[in-house]
Amino acid sequence: MKRKIVLTVLMVSLCVGLFVFVPTGVSAEQPKGELIFDEVINFDPDWCMKNDKGYVEKEIPIPGPGVITSETHGHRTDTPTGWCGTGGGVRFFVFNSKEEQIVGFGTGDTSFHEWIDGGMIYAHADCCWSSGGGAWPYQTSIKIYFDPDPDRDKIPDSRDKCPDTPLGVKVDKYGCPLEPATPDSDGDGVPDDKDKCPDTPSGTRVDEKGCPVQEIEVPDVIGKSQIEAKGIIEGVGLKVGVISGAPSDEPEGTVVGQSPKRGTKVAPNSAVNLTLSTGPCKQLKVSIVPYNGGQMELGAGTDFKITVTDCAGNPVPDCNLNIKASHADGHFSTYSERTWADGTLVWSFYAWASDDVGVWTIEVTASKARYQEGKTQVTITVTSRLTLTVSTDRREYVPGETVIVEGVVSDRDGSPVEGASVHITISDGDRVFRFLVATGEDGKYRWELNLPDDIPPDTYEVEVMASKTGYLPGEADTSFIVRAPAGIYGDVLEVKLFAPIPGSIVIAGGGPDGAEYTATPSSDDGSYAISCPVGEYQVTAWAPCYIPSKKRVEVSEPSLHIDRPRVTEAIFRLAPSFMRLDFIVVDDQGDPIPGALVELKNQKLRTPLSATTDDEGMTWIRLQATGLIPCEGTYKVTVRREGFQTLDSQVYVRIAYCPTPWWVGIGDPGEARLRPPLEWDTQYTPRKIKAVLRPTAPTPPTVEAQVLREKIARARTVAEIINALFVPVFKGEEVDSVNLLFEWRDKIEATGDAVLKEKFQAVMDSEGRDQEVMDLLLYLFESLPRILE
C-alpha cells in the first residue's frame, strides 16, 4: 500500500550553525544518535537555560549577549563535550521501521522524498547545543510519529495486535477490544455490563458507572463582599478557592474578579477563585529616560525625562522628586525638584571635572501625600572626547614619494593618551587608503604611505579618527596634493673631455619645505633627474677630485593644472681639483734654510715633483688630479740641503676643494717626525708643511758668529717686548705691568742697557700708564738698529 504524505514542519530556533543530528538507532521511546558540530557560531553560556542532562524535550532558549566562533566535530549525545560555547542547528528526518530515511533535510542536507511505503515511520526535528566547558550537549526535540491505522482504533499497526477491530470498539494499549462480549451500546466509554445508565445521550459527561454527571452553574459574585460571595458559592454546592487582591476603585474587600466566570458549568464541590479589591492604588510609579541613550560627553549636559504616574497610569502632578546622582567612585550630588502639571519633568545633568568621567547612577524618589513613594534609577556613562592633531610632512608630493602622516592624541586636559586606536583614511573620492595605528606613551602616532607610481595627480583628503574605551571618539583632517612628476634635470660632465664623471652626485636643497633631494648621474651620459615640489633650490654637483659647482634653480608652476609636468634644466661642467702645498724649511734653531730641495713623489710618478726654497726658506708645489696624480693618497716628502741631514717623511694628500690652509710640521723635534697615513685627517690635506733639518756635523761657532747670535738674541727679546706692549695698546687695552715685571725683568737686565732698564722700571711704577709705555716703545724701536750694528 502506498500513500502520499504532505508534511509541513515549522520550527523556530534561536540556535544558529551547522549542528546535525545523525540517528544511530530508533526506538519508540527515544532515538539515539550523534551530534556533529561544524563551523558553528556559538553564543556565550548565558544564552540557554538547561533543565537536565541528555535529551531534553522542553529546553527553553534564553537570548543573551556574545558570539564565539568555534569548530568541534563528532561529540555524541551520551558523552560530555570538552569545549565551551553554545550554538545549535536544525535537522529534520523521517524514518521507517527499518531505520531507513524516508524524508530528510537540514543545514547540511536538502534532499526530499515524498512517497513512503507502509510501516511505522516517525519524524524528528532537533535544536541542539552545548553550554559551558565540559558540559553535556542538549537538544530540543519535536517527535512526530506516522503509522498506518486501518481499523482507526488509534493504535498504529506497529503495535496493534488486533488490526481488524470493529469501528467504535474500545481497545486496550495493544489495539485489542477491552471485552469483546460486553460492548458499549451508548458509546459513553463504560461497557454495558458496568453501565448503570446504558441509554446516556451521546456527548453527555458520565461518571465511572456510566451515569450523567450532575453539573452546577457558577453564580455571579462580582461586587459582593467576601462573606456574601462565600455564602452564595457554598449555597449552590461549590467552594471558595484561592483568594487574591488587586488595586481597584471599588471599596476594599469587594469581589472584583472570579474564576471560573459566571454561567460556567462545573462539577459539584468545584472551587471558585476570587479576586478582592485592595482599594484605590496609592503606589507611585516613576520612570526616567535619558535623552541621549545613557552616554554624555564631559563638559556637556544631558536631559532626563522623569514621569510619575499612579497604578492606573494617571499622571501625578506637583510630586516631590528627590534626585541623587552618584559616581562609581563614591562622590555624589542631590537635587530637589517637582513634577509639572502633566506629571513629568525634564531634568538636566552636567559633568565638568575630570574625575566626573565614569559611570553615574541617577536615582529618583517620588513622594506625595496619600501616596506610597516610588523609586527608580538609571545609569549614564560620562566620557571625555579625544582631541587629536594631524599633519603631513609636506604639502605637495609626486608619485613614488612617501607621505608621512603624524599627530598627537590627548584627552580634554591635554594629557597624552596611550593605546588609542587611530583610523587613517586617505581618499580622493575614487582611490582610498586605510590604515590603523596605535598611539605610544607620548600619545603620538605616525604612518608612512608610499605613493604608487601610478597614483593620479589630485588633492587627497586625510581623515583621522581616534577611539579608546572610556572616551568619545575624536576626529581631525588635513589634505595634501599629488602633482605630476616635476623638478630638475641635466647632466654632469668633465669640463675638457665632456665625459661622465664616476661617483658624481647632484644635491638640490631648499625648496618650500627645506628638504634635500639627491640624484646620481648616469655613468653612460652623465644625465640626472630630480623630482621635487615647486620652489627655489640650491643645486650642487660634486665628484671626488673635482671642484664642486653650484647653481640656483627655480622650479616654477607654469599653470594651475597639477597634472602637467614641470622641469628645469641645470647643466654642470666640473674641473679637476687642484691644490698648492707650501713648504718652509728651517734648521734646528728655527733659522730659514735657502736653497733646500723639496721633492714630492708617489708610486706612479717616475720623476718626483720638486721645488727649491728661496732666501726665506719657502717654496711650493702645485698638485692637480691627473692620471699620474691621484686625487688622494700617500706621498713621500724628501728635503735635502748640503750640510744638513736629509729628511724623509710622508704626507697623506686628498686633492679636494678646501679653501682653508694650515701648517703641519715634519722633522721638528716638537712634532712627530713621521706620521702613519691613518693618523692624518683623510678628508682634508695640510696646505702648509714645515720641514726641520739638522746639520750633518755641528762645528763650534766663531767669535764673530757668537757675537752675532747674541745680537740676534737681544733683538728678539726687544721684538718680543714690543709685541707684548704694542698689541694691547693698539687694541685700546691697558698693559698688564705685573706680567711684564715677571716675564721680562731678567731679559732686560741681561741686555745691560741702563736707559732701557730705566724706562722699563717707569712702566712698572706707573702700572702701565700710556705715556710711560709709549716712551718705552719709542726707545725700543730706536734700539733695534743699534743692537744689530
| Partners of 389 in beta bridges | none
| Partners of 297 in beta bridges | 383
Domain 578-693 has CATH 1.10.287.3510: no
Q: In the sheet where 285-290 sits, what is the strand order? A: 285-290, 301-309, 344-350
pLDDT at 257 over 70: yes
Pick the most confident of 323-327, 396-400, 782-786.
323-327
Nearest to 332 by CA among 324, 322, 340, 344: 324
Q: Which amino acid is at 600?
A: L
Domain 216-277: CATH architecture, name and number where available = 2-Layer Sandwich (3.30)
The overall average pLDDT reported for the chain is: 73
Stretch (H or E) spanning 714: helix 703-730
Domain 285-384 has CATH 2.60.40.1930: yes
Angstrom distance (rounded) from CA 301 to CA 232? 63
What's the residue count for the chain?
A: 789
Q: Domain spanning 386-482: which superfamily? A: Macroglobulin (MG2) domain (2.60.40.1930)
Opening angle at CA 240, ends 239 and 242, nearest 5 = 140
Question: Grid coordinates representing 269?
Answer: 464541590
- What single-letter DSSP state applies at residue 766? T
Q: Which amino acid is at 663?
A: W
For 755: left if phi > 0, alpha if psi spans -120 to 50, otherwise beta; the answer is: alpha
What is the residue-wise DSSP string for 553-606? EEE---SS-TTS--EEE--EEEPBPEEEEEEEEEETTS-B-TT-EEEEE-SS-S
Confidence of residue 400 (pLDDT cuts 50, 70, 90): confident
* Predicted local confidence at residue 121, as pLDDT: 43
* Predicted local confidence at residue 729, as pLDDT: 60
Decide whether 487-574 matches 578-693 in CATH topology: yes
* Predicted local confidence at residue 129, as pLDDT: 47
Nearest to 346 by CA among 354, 355, 333, 337: 337
Confidence of residue 62 (pLDDT cuts 50, 70, 90): very low
pLDDT, tens digit (0-9, with 9 covering 90-100), for 500-511:
888 889 999 888
* Predicted local confidence at residue 392, as pLDDT: 93
* Predicted local confidence at residue 84, as pLDDT: 33
* Contacts of 552-561 spanning 24+ positions with Cβ under 8 A: 553/488, 553/508, 555/486, 555/487, 555/488, 555/511
pLDDT at 680 over 80: no
Confidence of residue 701 (pLDDT cuts 50, 70, 90): low
Angstrom distance (rounded) from CA 315 to CA 365? 16
- What single-letter DSSP state applies at residue 298? T
User: pLDDT higher for 764 or 788?
Assistant: 764
CA-atom Rg of the chain in angstroms: 57
Question: Grid coordinates representing 471?
Answer: 572616551
| Partners of 285 in beta bridges | 309
Domain 487-574 has CATH 2.60.40.1120: yes
Domain extents for the chain?
2-146, 216-277, 285-384, 386-482, 487-574, 578-693, 703-788
* Contacts of 534-537 spanning 24+ positions with Cβ under 8 A: 534/396, 534/483, 534/486, 534/566, 535/510, 535/511, 536/510, 536/511, 537/488, 537/508, 537/509, 537/510, 537/511
> CB atoms < 10 A from the CB of 492, how many?
27
- pTM of the complete model beyond 0.75: no
